[in-house]
Structure 1
Amino acid sequence: MPKIALLSPEVSRKIAAGEVIERPFSVVKELVENSLDAGASSVRVELAAGGKGVIRVRDDGCGMSREDALLAFERHSTSKIREEADLERIATMGFRGEALASIGAVSRLTLRTSEGGEGGVEIEREGDRLAAVRDAGLPRGTTVEVRDLFFNLPARLKFLKSDSSELSQSAKWLTSIACAFFEVAFSLSHGPRQLFSWPGVRTLKERLYQVYGKDLVDRLMKADYAEGGSRVFGFASRPPSGRSDKSQQFFYVNRRPVKDRIMQAALNQAFRPLLEKNQYAEAFLFLEHPLGEVDVNVHPAKAEVRFRDSQAVFRVVQRSIDKAVLDEGTVKVVPFGQPPETASPRAAVEDARPGQLIGDPYARPLASRGPAPAAEERPGVSQSGGIRVLGQYLDMYIVAASEDGIFVIDQHNAHEKVLFERYKEIGRDKLWPRKLALIPILFDLPPSDVLSLEENRDLLAASGFRVEEAGGRTYALKEYPDILRDEEAQNIFLSLLAEIKQEKLDGRQDKLLATLACKTAVKAGEPLSRPQMEHLVEELFQLPRPGLCPHGRPVLLRMDRGQIDKSLRRPSN
C-alpha cells in the first residue's frame, strides 16, 4: 500500500486557508484591502469578541454582480490580474484571489453586495458549503459578515489570544492603513463601543493629526525627495526629537504597509548623527517605486517586499531625510562641558540618577543588603570569587580577571540583569517607590495603545505607573517609578505599553520588568568609573544565574586560564 496519499479537496482547502487566515486580524486585513481595491470612500469595521465572534466590514465601493460574487469564492479568482506578466506590475492591495475562499472555508460567512441600482445579491456559506443565494435590494457597495471564525478548525482556536489582544492587532493595522489611504473614511467598533471614526481628509498630515494628535504632528518634519524614478515622501522626527524604541516607524511601498529592513536601516542611519544615543526617529515614510522594480509576492501576508535594486532604495530614503533636515535648518545642539572621557569618577557617581545601582558604588538604594564593605577592604577587587576589574574596553565592555581566567562583561546586559532581579524583588514586595508628577505628563495614544492600556492598567499600576484619562485620546501620567527621570518617564512608559501588548498574558509581568530594566540600565558607549564597574561586577556575580540578560542575550564571556596557557604554549601550573 503506498505511503503517499492525495489529500481530499476539503482538507486541502483548510490547509490553504490556514496559510492566509491566521487570526481575526487576517480577516480584517484581507476584507479591508478588497474594499480599498474596490474604490471605497468609506470603510466600516465592526467586531465582537475581538473578531472571534463577529467580523463585519462594510464599504461603498463598486460592488459585484451576482455572477462575480459567486465566482469570488473560488480559489484564485480575482479581478486584479489576468496573466503571469501582471505579477510584475501589481498596483492593487490584493492580487492572489484567495481572500474570500480562505475566509469562507473556516467560518460562517454572509456576503451582501450590489453594483447599485435595484439589484443586489446575498450569499451565505458555512465552511465549504454554499447555504443560500438570494436576490436583495442593497445600496452600492459590499458588506462581508464573518461569524464563528475557525468553528471547523478547533485546533486553531486554541492559539488565539484574548479578545483585547486580538482587537488590538486589528486596530493597529487599521491605523496603519488609514494613514496610507487618508482620503478614505475609516471607523472601528467593538460591540457597542466605537473605538474611532475618522472622516476622509485631503492630506497625510491631517490624518496623522486625527490618529495621533497635535503633539506628534508638531514634532515631525516633512520629507519629500525624488530620484531615478522613485519618490519618498511623508514625515519624520524633527531633530533632536526622538523616542527610545522603533515602534513608531512606519513604511509604505506604493501605499502598501510593509516591514522593510532596507528602508528602516536607511532611516536610522540618516538620523544617527542627529539624535542622542539610543534614540530613534518617529517616521511615516511612503516610497513610490516603479511597479516592475518591486516584488510584492514574497510573503504570505504581503507584509514584506523585495526590491530589484535595494541600494537605490536605501539611497533615496536616506537622502530624503538629509534633504528634510536641510530644509528644516535643523542642527544638533552639543552642550558645552567636560567630555565623558575626561569626566572625573566622582562626577560620574554624583550625576547618577537616584536608584541606579551603579550610582554610588557602595550604596544599596533600592533594597539594602546590609552595610557595604569599607573602601580599604576592596581595592578594586569584587567580593565574589576574587574577581578584579582591569578596565573598560570601547566604553562597552568591562574586562575583569580572577585566578581562573579573564571575563569580558557586556556592561548594558549585565546592568539590565542586575536591575531585572532587583525589580522582581520590589515587585514581589509591592515596594515600588513612586514619584508624583508636579504637572501631569499629557500624551495622546492611538487606538491600539488605548486598548493595551486598558488591558494592562493594573499591571502598570503595580509597577509604579498611574495613568488617567484626560479627555478624548489624551491621557495623563500622574505617577511613575522614582528610578525614572522626569524627562524620560513618558518615553519609557510608551515603550512598556508597546512591548507588553505583544506578550502573552502570563508573561507580561516579566516582560514589563525586563523592558523597564533595559530602558534604565547603563548604555553601551557610556564611560564608567572604576568604582562603578567594581560595584556592577560584584552585584552581577551575586546572582544565581548571571550568564543571560532577561531578553536572552549573553552577559559575559570567559576565557579560562588553561585555554590562555595552551594558546600561548605556556605550561600550566
Structure 2
Amino acid sequence: MGVIKALHSSISNKIAAGEVIERPQSVVKELVENAIDAGSTVITVEVVEAGLNKIKVTDNGSGIQEDDLELMFMRHATSKIENDHDLFHIRSLGFRGEALASIASVSKVRVITCYDGKIGRQIDVIDGEIVNKTLAHARQGTEISVEELFYNTPARLKYMKSLHTELGKITDIMNRFIMSFPHIRFTLVSDEKVLINSSGNGNMQEAMSKIYGMKIAQDLVEINGETGDYKVTGYIAKPEHTRSNRHYMSLFINGRYIKNFMLTKAILEGYHTLLPVGRFPVLAIHITMDPALVDVNVHPTKQEVRLSKEPQLMSLISQLIKEKIWQQNLIPKVEKKSVLEQFEQQKFEYDLKNQSHKDELKQIVQESNESVETIEPILQNEETKQMLNYENNDRDKALDSNSVNELFTETNAFQDNPEDEPIHSGENSERTENVRDEKQLTERSIPYMEVVGQVHGTYIIAQNDEGMYMIDQHAAQERIKYEYFKARIGNVCMGMQSLLIPVTINLSTDEAINIQKIKPLLEDIGITLEHFGGNDYVINEVPVWFPEQYEETLQELIDFAFDNKRIDLNKFREETAIMMSCKKSIKANHYLRIDDMNYLIQELAETKEPYTCPHGRPIIIQFTTYELEKLFKRVM
C-alpha cells in the first residue's frame, strides 16, 4: 500500500493559512480587498484586542448571492477568474480563492449579507465547517465577523506580537487602502474607539494629510506622466521630510499595494543627492498599466509582483520625480508654532473662508431666481471659482503665512535693489555689486540674499525681504565642487597636464595583486597607473581639472577605488566626484571675508541643484520674518 495520500481539507486549509494568514492584519487585508472588489464605497473595520479576539468588516457592496454562500468557503473557489486568460489579466485585488477558506480554518466566522437589498442571509463557519445557515436582517452589502483567530493553532498564536504592535500593523494596512482608494470612505474602530475615519471624497492629498499630518501634506508635490504602457500619478514629499526606512514609500499598481526593489531604486535615483544618507522619502505613487504587463501571482500575499518592461517604468518614475522636485523651493523653513497655534490658525482661516463662501452664495441666490441647491454645485466647480472675483482674495492671502513664499517660488525670480548700501564687517567695508544680468536672475533657483556675517566660521548669515537665511559654507562648496568634478570626470578629452615630479604610489601586497581590478576605473577618469617596480606605481599626468595636492588626492582616490570596486562606471564617477568635493571643500571654523561669502553664494546659485550637498544634507535654512518676530514677541 502506498504512503502518499490526499490531505483532509481542514489540514490543507491550515497549511494555506500559514502562508496567507500570518496575523490579524492579514485577515483585515483579505476581507477589505474583497469588499473593494464588491464595489463598496463605505467600508468599516472593527477590531477587538487588535483583532485577535474579533475582526468585523462591514461594507455596502454588491453582497453575496445565496447559491454562493457555501462555495465561498471552499478552497480555490472564486468569482474573479475562469480561465488562463483571466489569470494573466487580473484586474481585481483578490483572485486566488484561498483567503476565506484559510481564515475559516483558523477562526470562527459569521457572514451576514444582502444581495438584492431585500432578503438577508447568515452563515456560520467553525474550523472550516458550515454549522449554521439561516435568514437574517441585513442591509445591502456584507458583514463578516472573524472571532478567536488562531484558537485552534496555538503555535501560531504564540508568535503574535504585543497588542500594540498588531494594532499598528492593522492601522498601517488601512492607511495603504486610504491612499490607494481615496474615493472609498474607510473607518477603523479599535475597542470601540475610532482610530481612522477617511472622507472618501477622492482627494489624494487630503487622504495623505490624514495619515502623515498637515505639515507633510502642505509640502507634497504632485507628479503625473505616462508612456504608451504606463501611467504614473501621485504625490511626493519635499526632501526635508524623510524617514529612516522605506516604510513610508507607498507604491500601488492598478490599486494594489506592492513592494518592488527596482522601483524603489528608481525613486531614490529621482531624488538623487537630495536625500541624506540612510534617509528615505515620504510618497504615494499610483501606477496604472495593462494587467498583462504585471504578474501578481508570484507570492501568496500578492505584494510582490513581476513586471514586464520594468526599465521603462523605472525611467519614467525617476524622470517624473527629478523634473517635479527641482521645480520646487527646497529651502527648509524653521517654524516653531505649537500644535494649538497651528490648529487655531487653520480653524480661523477655514471659518473665514467658509463664511465668505456662504455670504457669496446668499448674495447670488438673492440676485437670481435659483435655489441654493442649484447654485452650490456651480460654485464648487474649479473653473467657476477662478472666474469669480472674490473680494476676500487679498485678505485670505495675507492670512496665509506661506502665500508670499509660494508666490515667490512660483515665479522663480527675484530682484536686486540698485540702491543697496555697502555691507560692513568689522573695521573693513566691502561693497558687493548687485547689478546682474536680468535673464540670469530669472534662471537662478535660490532667492537673492544679502550677506551680513558669519557664525563660528561655519555658517553664513544672509537676509532678504522673506527673512533670514543660514548657509552651511562647507555643504555649499561641496555642492559647487561636486557639480564641477562630475561634469569633468570621465571626459578625458578635456586635456591632461604632465606632472613636474611624478607621483609614486606604494601599494600593499594585497592591493598590488588586485590592482588590475581598479585600473580600468581609474583610466576612465583620466588616471593611468604605470608599474615602477615591486609594489610601486607612478602617475605621470593628471587631467587639467584635477585638484591640487596631487599626491594626497591620488592616494585617496586609489584607496577609494579599492574600497568601492564597481562595474558601474557612472556610479564610480559620481562617488568619486562626491569624495573629491568633500575632501577639497572649506571646513567648519574657517572664517571668510564678506566678498568671499558673496562669491560662494553666487557660485552656489549657478549650480543645478543648490539645495543640498551631495550627501543630501541641507545647504540653506530659512527663518521667516514671521518666525523671527514671534521669537522676539513682536507678534503674539
The TM-score with structure 1 as length reference comes to 0.58
Per-residue CA deviations over 1:22-76 (Å, capped at 9, x if unaligned) read 1111110000000000011111111111111101100111101111122111111
Number of the residue aligned with 1:169? 169
Kept after mapping to 1: 8 A contact 2:43/2:57? yes
Q: Residues of 2 paired with 1:396 and 1:222: CA distance?
A: 43
Kept after mapping to 2: 8 A contact 1:395/1:526? no
Number of the residue aligned with 2:181? 181
Which residue identity does 2:271 align to in structure 1?
F
Kept after mapping to 2: 8 A contact 1:258/1:304? yes
Kept after mapping to 2: 8 A contact 1:275/1:332? no
Number of the residue aligned with 1:256? 256
Number of the residue aligned with 1:337? 473
Kept after mapping to 2: 8 A contact 1:232/1:317? yes
Per-residue CA deviations over 1:141-198 (Å, capped at 9, x if unaligned) read 1000011111111221111111111111111011111111101111111112221212
Shift of the alpha carbon at 1:123? 0.2
Kept after mapping to 2: 8 A contact 1:239/1:332? no
User: Does 1:152 find its partner at 2:152?
Assistant: yes
Shift of the alpha carbon at 1:116? 3.3
Structure with more helix by fraction: 2
Shift of the alpha carbon at 1:527? 6.0
Per-residue CA deviations over 1:223-252 (Å, capped at 9, x if unaligned) read 111112211111112245544443321111
Closer/same/farther in 2, CA of residues 115 and 9 from structure 1, 3 Å limit: closer
Which residue identity does 1:297 align to in structure 2?
N
Q: Secondary structure at the match of 1:247?
A: helix
Shift of the alpha carbon at 1:214? 1.1
Shift of the alpha carbon at 1:200? 0.9
Q: Residues of 2 paired with 1:396 and 1:163: CA distance?
A: 53
Q: Residues of 1 paired with 2:580 and 2:157: CA distance?
A: 43
Number of the residue aligned with 1:207? 207
Which residue identity does 2:33 align to in structure 1?
E
Kept after mapping to 1: 8 A contact 2:47/2:190? yes
Closer/same/farther in 2, CA of residues 196 and 9 from structure 1, 3 Å limit: closer
Q: Residues of 2 paired with 1:291 and 1:44: CA distance?
A: 29
Which residue identity does 2:169 align to in structure 1?
Q
Per-residue CA deviations over 1:516-552 (Å, capped at 9, x if unaligned) read xxxxxxx9997699xxxxxxxxxxxxxxxxxxxxxxx
Closer/same/farther in 2, CA of residues 103 and 276 from structure 1, 3 Å limit: closer
Shift of the alpha carbon at 1:212? 2.0
Q: Secondary structure at the match of 1:209?
A: helix
Number of the residue aligned with 1:37? 37
Q: Residues of 1 paired with 2:192 and 2:554: CA distance?
A: 59
Q: Residues of 1 paired with 2:260 and 2:110: CA distance?
A: 35
Following superposition of structure 1 onto structure 2, how do residues 52-131 of structure 1 map, counting pairs within 5 Å?
Answer: 52-131=52-131
Q: Residues of 2 paired with 1:142 and 1:524: CA distance?
A: 63
Shift of the alpha carbon at 1:329? 6.9
Q: Secondary structure at the match of 2:202?
A: coil
Number of the residue aligned with 2:454? none
Closer/same/farther in 2, CA of residues 20 and 528 from structure 1, 3 Å limit: farther
Q: Residues of 2 paired with 1:153 and 1:73: CA distance?
A: 19
Closer/same/farther in 2, CA of residues 525 and 73 from structure 1, 3 Å limit: farther
Number of the residue aligned with 2:307? 307
Kept after mapping to 1: 8 A contact 2:184/2:202? no
Q: Residues of 1 paired with 2:142 and 2:118: CA distance?
A: 14
Number of the residue aligned with 2:12? 12
Q: Residues of 1 paired with 2:57 and 2:558: CA distance?
A: 52
Following superposition of structure 1 onto structure 2, how do residues 140-539 of structure 1 map, counting pairs within 5 Å?
Answer: 140-239=140-239, 241-325=241-325, 327-328=327-328, 335=471, 337-338=473-474
Kept after mapping to 2: 8 A contact 1:116/1:138? no
Number of the residue aligned with 1:554? none
Q: Residues of 1 paired with 2:580 and 2:194: CA distance?
A: 44
Shift of the alpha carbon at 1:272? 1.4
Shift of the alpha carbon at 1:393? 7.9
Aligned length: 362
Kept after mapping to 2: 8 A contact 1:243/1:279? yes
Q: Residues of 1 paired with 2:245 and 2:206: CA distance?
A: 25
Shift of the alpha carbon at 1:332? 7.7
Closer/same/farther in 2, CA of residues 181 and 393 from structure 1, 3 Å limit: farther
Closer/same/farther in 2, CA of residues 277 and 63 from structure 1, 3 Å limit: same
Q: Residues of 2 paired with 1:29 and 1:75: CA distance?
A: 18
Per-residue CA deviations over 1:98-153 (Å, capped at 9, x if unaligned) read 11111111111100000133211100011122110001121101000011111111
Closer/same/farther in 2, CA of residues 332 and 132 from structure 1, 3 Å limit: farther
Which residue identity does 1:183 align to in structure 2?
H
Q: Secondary structure at the match of 2:7?
A: coil
Kept after mapping to 2: 8 A contact 1:219/1:237? yes
Following superposition of structure 1 onto structure 2, how do residues 16-27 of structure 1 map, counting pairs within 5 Å?
Answer: 16-27=16-27
Kept after mapping to 1: 8 A contact 2:187/2:198? yes
Gaps of 5+ in 2: 331-443, 447-469, 479-551, 565-578, 586-636
Which residue identity does 2:473 align to in structure 1?
G
Kept after mapping to 1: 8 A contact 2:41/2:60? yes
Q: Residues of 1 paired with 2:83 and 2:273: CA distance?
A: 47
Which residue identity does 1:49 align to in structure 2?
E
Shift of the alpha carbon at 1:398? 10
Closer/same/farther in 2, CA of residues 393 and 160 from structure 1, 3 Å limit: farther
Which residue identity does 1:184 align to in structure 2?
I
Shift of the alpha carbon at 1:335? 5.0
Closer/same/farther in 2, CA of residues 154 and 319 from structure 1, 3 Å limit: same
Q: Residues of 2 paired with 1:122 and 1:339: CA distance?
A: 66
Kept after mapping to 2: 8 A contact 1:396/1:526? no
Closer/same/farther in 2, CA of residues 242 and 393 from structure 1, 3 Å limit: farther
> Based on CA coordinates, which of the two structures has the bigger radius of gyration?
2
Kept after mapping to 2: 8 A contact 1:244/1:278? yes
Which residue identity does 1:44 align to in structure 2?
T
Kept after mapping to 2: 8 A contact 1:225/1:323? no
Q: Secondary structure at the match of 1:273?
A: helix
Shift of the alpha carbon at 1:281? 2.1
Shift of the alpha carbon at 1:10? 2.5
Shift of the alpha carbon at 1:253? 0.7
Which residue identity does 2:92 align to in structure 1?
T
Closer/same/farther in 2, CA of residues 78 and 524 from structure 1, 3 Å limit: farther
Gaps of 5+ in 1: 343-389, 400-406, 410-522, 530-573
Kept after mapping to 1: 8 A contact 2:21/2:103? yes
Q: Residues of 2 paired with 1:392 and 1:172: CA distance?
A: 49
Which residue identity does 1:69 align to in structure 2?
L
